Structure 1
Amino acid sequence: MHYQLIGSGKPVVLIHGFGEDSSIWKQQLEFLGSDYQLIIPDLPGTGKTELESVLTMESMAAGIRDILDKEKIGSCILLGHSMGGYISLAFAELFPDRINGLGLLHSSAFADSEAKKETRRKSIEFIKKQGSFPYLEASTPNLFAEENRLSMTGLIRDLVDRHAYMKPATLAAFLEAMMARPDRTQILKKANFPVLFIVGRGDQAVPFTDSMQQVYLPDLSYIYILEKSGHMGMLEETGSFNQALIDFISSTPM
């Protein structure tokens, strides 16, 4: 798994989501890079990382573990956006002694509902027939709060163009892996580390009501609600998003 290693200090892993690569963290890298050691991977099939023959949340969590081993990092704070949060939860289940704090950034510990699985199946069929670019072009605007879509048209177009290199097989593999993931609310209930929740009021991918059912599960939760964001708070409300990250990281012990 290709990754960037930037800065020094408290280790923080930033795991991107579905339909993205590590470039999604550009503004967070600039904000945090001078104070912490940032580990920023490209998941299989994105960036400079080749797609793997078997792709699961657990296999990607093991890939993160391998990076930590390579860099001789014992434990870290894991911050995952959307699918990156699913990977972070799998990591917490598999390697609980390697995690100091967990961030679910527009993410969820719930498994997919049957309705969500059916939506993902339809997406896979669309991608196989039409390709990656048409899929990203159709789906990316819906990741933003409705009131932001017009004003952020240029940004949305840039996201689509920047990630259209992803092969249909990559996007389909991610969708299959997300459908197969189990419910991991027990990880939140048993967490002996703090958990950060960043929630978008207008998030259609991870509904606000679903997030609110989870924030009370850990013993120690940090909850930030972005009132003007959908699923992409790092871009929609960058300042508030970054402040939530630094508040959480700085308060999380090594």
Structure 2
Amino acid sequence: MERKSISIDSKIISYYTAGDGKALVLLHGFGADSTIWEEQISYLSKDYQVIAPDLPGISNSELISDVSMEGLASMVKTIIEEEEIENIVLIGHSMGGYATLAFAEKYPELLQAFGLFHSTATADNEEKIAGRRKGIEFTRKHGAKAFLESTAPKMFGAATKQEQPQLYESFIKNLPEMSNESVINYYEAMMQRPDRTEVLKNTKVPVLFIYGEQDEIIDVHKTIGQASLPSTASVHILKKSGHLGMIEEPQESNKILEAFLSDLNIY
């Protein structure tokens, strides 16, 4: 596994890359960084080129001026141009899923398939927007670190907290580095993102949906209906996962991703 970087707006964007073959790009969500994909990078890089960036303003990547979902999509395009890749499979976790949908809307010709991992195509509702505004005020008052510490417990399912307390505790101790500005800019970007269910309806490529049965952030029962929108979809529910199935149930997540990638040769 190698760490590389690109420059956007004279800012450094850092990413992991490993393996050769069909390109798979993994986008983490808010409150996490590229390290959440370590199990997937290790497992899938046997057969694929796996790329996992730290999103701008998070951990090893510097904050850029545009962290809208469209701006993040443009960042992905810059990375694949740097790597001289013709097309990719793009999997986005949570906020990374919002950016994945923006990429699918802007650059459909560059996608062989894409996936939403604990994510949704709908825009924030009024309740969600109100919660994000409270988060912004909390960050301004108490700082980014305190805010991330307050939100991290919601990322895990009850089963993980009970059966794998060391995993939960390790995540809490190693939260990604973010400035107040980064937290606020991302929350504002997520509030402003549009509904992209039409992207799911109109896409011509296969779409993977992975949900967590115990996810408190993206409720599987409220969002699983979106899986009926694409013409070709693969749907999976991780029974013991909250919002971080890739580390809560890594082996199952690996198998799901591997099967989806393998099946692309059939479609």
Gap runs ≥5 in structure 2: 1-12
Aligned twin of 1:6? 18
Partner residue of 2:192 out of 170, 173, 180: 180
Hey, what's the Cα distance between the residues in 2 that align with 1:8 and 1:145? 34
Aligned twin of 2:51? 39
Aligned-partner SS, 1:149: helix
Aligned twin of 2:172? 160
Hey, what's the Cα distance between the residues in 1 that align with 2:98 and 2:66? 17
Percent identity between the two aligned chains: 42
Hey, what's the Cα distance between the residues in 1 that align with 2:162 and 2:186? 28
Gap runs ≥5 in structure 1: none
Amino acid in structure 2 at the alignment position of 1:136: L
Partner residue of 2:134 out of 122, 128, 132: 122
Residues 164 and 14 (structure 1 numbering): CA distance in 2 closer, same or farther, change over 3 Å?
closer
The alpha carbon displacement at 1:110 in A equals: 0.6
Please identify, of 73-82 and 169-178, the stretch whose mean Cα deviation from structure 2 is larger. 169-178
Count of residues in Structure 1 that have an aligned counterpart in Structure 2:
254
Asked whether the 8 Å contact 2:132–2:187 carries over to 1, the reply is yes
Aligned-partner SS, 1:54: coil
Amino acid in structure 1 at the alignment position of 2:110: R
Partner residue of 1:63 out of 59, 75, 100: 75
Aligned twin of 1:134? 146
The answer to whether residue 240 in structure 2 is matched with residue 220 in structure 1 is no
Aligned-partner SS, 1:62: helix
Asked whether the 8 Å contact 1:201–1:229 carries over to 2, the reply is yes
Amino acid in structure 1 at the alignment position of 2:139: I
Hey, what's the Cα distance between the residues in 2 that align with 1:192 and 1:101? 9
Amino acid in structure 1 at the alignment position of 2:99: I
The alpha carbon displacement at 1:93 in A equals: 0.3
Hey, what's the Cα distance between the residues in 2 that align with 1:236 and 1:114? 30
| TM-score, length-scaled by structure 1 | 0.96
Aligned-partner SS, 1:14: strand
Aligned twin of 2:243? 231
Please list, as runs of the form range in 1=range in 2, the aligned pairs for 1:188-203 lying within 5 A after superposition: 188-203=200-215
Aligned-partner SS, 2:174: helix
Hey, what's the Cα distance between the residues in 2 that align with 1:70 and 1:251? 27
Amino acid in structure 1 at the alignment position of 2:183: L
Aligned-partner SS, 1:163: coil
Asked whether the 8 Å contact 1:140–1:156 carries over to 2, the reply is no
Amino acid in structure 1 at the alignment position of 2:197: T
The alpha carbon displacement at 1:21 in A equals: 1.1
Aligned twin of 2:7? none
The answer to whether residue 103 in structure 2 is matched with residue 91 in structure 1 is yes
The alpha carbon displacement at 1:128 in A equals: 1.4
Aligned-partner SS, 1:213: helix
The answer to whether residue 221 in structure 2 is matched with residue 209 in structure 1 is yes
Residues 228 and 106 (structure 1 numbering): CA distance in 2 closer, same or farther, change over 3 Å?
same
Amino acid in structure 1 at the alignment position of 2:227: V
| TM-score, length-scaled by structure 2 | 0.91
Hey, what's the Cα distance between the residues in 2 that align with 1:171 and 1:3? 20
Please identify, of 164-173 and 93-102, the stretch whose mean Cα deviation from structure 2 is larger. 164-173
Cα-to-partner distance string for 1:26-49 (whole Å, 9 max, x where unaligned)? 111111111100111111011321
The alpha carbon displacement at 1:126 in A equals: 0.8
Runs (4 or more) in structure 1 with deviation over 4 Å come to none
Asked whether the 8 Å contact 1:133–1:160 carries over to 2, the reply is no
Aligned-partner SS, 1:199: strand
Amino acid in structure 2 at the alignment position of 1:145: G
Hey, what's the Cα distance between the residues in 1 that align with 2:112 and 2:218? 24
Aligned twin of 1:245? 257
